[in-house]
Amino acid sequence: MSTPLFDSDEEMNEYEEESVEISPLKIKFDKIFNNDYNVGNLDYEDFGTPKVEKTYADKHMESYYNSSEYHARMEIMEVIDVFFSQSEIGKTIGLKKKIPKQMLSKIYLLLKDAFKPNELSEADYFTSVADYFGMSYEILYSNIPAIYREYIVKEMDDKYSILKRRGLKKLF
């Protein structure tokens, strides 16, 4: 049971008389919502519960987020994680923040064994490895063997005609 703040009605009346009235000129108003500061007068409008269209995400978010691609990417990451954590290099290095550059080509080739041949395109494999270790594509690209760089460039050229636009026949 709580104790009352005032012992009698007389004390409560005295407190009410002593309380200071705030002048309407001294009240600050919020410029955006016209709410009083620290007075307790909050004006708001109740909009009710929002209505959700079930097909909205499929219609409008597919260009930004494709859930099937996301789940496929997460499955690839899980395969890489399991394979790397069970390998010798994975046990010695672990998931350090910085991996030595001389080890990147060995790790790149080691993780290729986690997938069946032609299961992933070279570009998808490359981006998955870079994303798994959280490194930039430039650093990984400069440290993988040249033949795999050529495969990546050829695949990107087949998809986007990168070399043909520049008038090149081969990058290497």
Q: Where are the domains of the chain?
A: 65-166
Q: Rounded to two decimals, what is the model's pTM?
A: 0.59
- Cα 119-125-128 angle, rounded to 5 deg: 125
| Neighbour tally for 143: CB within 10 Å | 19
CA-wise closest residue to 76 among 155, 129, 148: 129
CA distance 85 to 61: 35
pLDDT band (50, 70, 90) for residue 12 = low
* Whole-number pLDDT of residue 28: 59
Cα–Cα dist 74/68, whole Å = 10
Q: How confident is the model at residue 77, as a pLDDT?
A: 92
Calculate the average pLDDT of the chain: 77
Cβ neighbours for 167, distance < 8 A, ≥ 6 positions apart: none
Residue 44: predicted pLDDT: 63
Reply yes or no on whether the pLDDT at 54 is more than 70. yes
Decide if 136 contacts 115 (C-beta within 8 A): no
36 φ, ψ to 5°? -75, 145
pLDDT (mean) for 120-142? 91
User: End-to-end alpha-carbon separation of the chain, Å?
Assistant: 85
pLDDT at 79: 93
**pLDDT tens, position by position, 84-128:** 989 888 888 876 667 888 888 999 999 998 998 888 999 999 999
For 34, residues 6+ apart whose C-beta sits below 8 A from its C-beta are 43
Percent of the chain at pLDDT > 90 equals 23
